[in-house]
Chain A
Amino acid sequence: MNTLIKPHIPSGSEPTGDEDPTGVRDLLSSLPEPDPMPEHLVERINASLAAEQAQRAAKISRANVTPLRATAPRRRPRVLLAIAGAAAAVALITFASTNLFTAHQSSTTNQSAGISRTSSTAGAARAAQPSDANKAPALAGGPMTTSLVQISTSGTRYTQANFAAQARKLRLAPFQPMAAADSSTVGPAGTTAGLMQCLKAIGAAGAREVRADVAFYEGRPAIVIVATTNETPLAYAVGLECSQTNVAVLRPGTPLS
């Protein structure tokens, strides 16, 4: 196990450079090596890589799933499970429906926010089909996935050191919706449609549940996003300008275990 940083040894026999009469090269090469990567950073990156691996595995698994229509009679158990899941989601949304609406539309008691259907839950989802204005826009190039999108504005000052803990709180906190008037001033990612494009840009397009908070990250205006895909919630911090063409990541995906 390499616990020391060894100087990079050039691979070829080529000399490292011409003569240096200034002495700068000798000075720079004599500087002590930095310490090894801090343990907390090792853990953080390992966790991110594990989350990436989980997402990769999930994508491969989804790609191998046979479309339901072709095998519906034989896949009843899976359909039932998926429908049960969607029904549970509908029940949750109905129960909490007074608090849910997209960023650009006010809510009424029975309207639900940002729900779109999976290809395998057509039957159950039909019962909860929202109006087009509330639906999270489909992302081109991939299957529509169930996604609950909630955007709030808390003004919380998220920090690098406490990000994971703060993001967990966001995920579990009662939803306080952002006023429609505020969303238009936040930036591209302040609306549901814009946020979905931002999610696509940062590689979280497949998330089935999204909590977003217009706040601050390390003193900068930001949107903190907790995107849950296949039971793995990941927290990101992005700039307000985040869009499909402008990734603006301030903090890459951090797993919330």
Chain B
Amino acid sequence: MMSRLDDLRELSDRELLSAHCTGDPDAFGELFRRHRDQMWALALRTTRDPEVAADAVQEAFIAAFRGADSFRGEAAVTTWLHRIVVNSCLDRLRRIKPIVPMPEFDLSVLADTHDHHHGVDVRLDVRAALEQLPEGQAMALILVDMHGFSICEAADVLNVAQGTIKSRCARGRAAMVPLLGLATPSDTSVTRPGKEPMTSP
């Protein structure tokens, strides 16, 4: 005989949320169990700080618990959860450090010309580089490139147009190139591991 928890695991996300809204005491717990790791990964990548991520993801799940009635059903439940997590993370980041407008272009002034990729933790470089980007570009890259969201899904989560996501991705990637010391096909200065970059004559 299946246990109640087994029954809940058979339900889709929508069914679980619906059950929660009608008073089921265990349905939301199953939603949390099912998606907590993904939301944690998103919070961690967005905030780049485990303590901030922990508070943000807790706040997000509580907000989702309380505001389950607000789920309209047009998007997937996971998209709705992702949105709440992202908003919770960005709210916390803005409280910790107010947004300073950065130019969306010409971030090369911040580029470190040394090659950091040889024997160095790329994650740290990426984290530092993402922090230099405008918030919108960083979020687009986190969702699309790191989490594998489609343009449509990322647009849903961030509540912007799909064209905006494409544009932010393109600009964000272009901005990341000098920050990470990557060579582009048109770049005549080649960076080799362990060596200073060669400049074009």
Summarize B's interface: helix, strand, loop or mixed: helix
What chain A residues lie within 8 Å of B180 (beta carbons)? 24, 27
* B7-25 Cβ-contact flags toward A at 8 Å (1 or 0): 0000000000000000101
- Within 8 Å of chain B (Cβ to Cβ): is A67? no
- Asked whether, in the complex, the Cβ of A52 is within 8 Å of the Cβ of B62, the reply is yes
CA distance A186 to B58 in the complex (A): 27
Interface residues of B in 134-173 (CB under 8 A from A): 141, 144-153, 166, 169-170, 172-173
Tier of interface size on chain B:
35 or more
Tier of interface size on chain A:
35 or more
Between B55, B147, B174, the greatest number of chain A beta carbons within 10 A of the residue's beta carbon is seen for B55
- Asked whether, in the complex, the Cβ of A249 is within 8 Å of the Cβ of B146, the reply is no
| Option from A8, A14, A41, A46 in Cβ contact (under 8 Å) with B151 | A14
B142: nearest chain-A partner, CB-CB: A28
CA distance A33 to B42 in the complex (A): 10
Given contacts A10-B148, A14-B150, A42-B36, contact A252 B58 (CB under 8 A): yes
What chain B residues lie within 8 Å of A24 (beta carbons)? 141, 145, 172-173, 176-177, 180, 182
What chain A residues lie within 8 Å of B66 (beta carbons)? 52, 203
A51: nearest chain-B partner, CB-CB: B62
Q: Which residues of A contact B (CB under 8 A)?
A: 2, 4-5, 7-12, 14-18, 20-25, 27-29, 31-34, 36-38, 41-42, 44-46, 48-49, 52-53, 57, 60, 160, 203, 218, 249-253
Q: Which residues of B contact A (CB under 8 A)?
A: 23, 25, 28-29, 32, 34, 36-41, 44-45, 51, 54-55, 57-59, 61-62, 65-66, 76, 78, 122-123, 126, 141, 144-153, 166, 169-170, 172-174, 176-177, 180, 182, 184-185
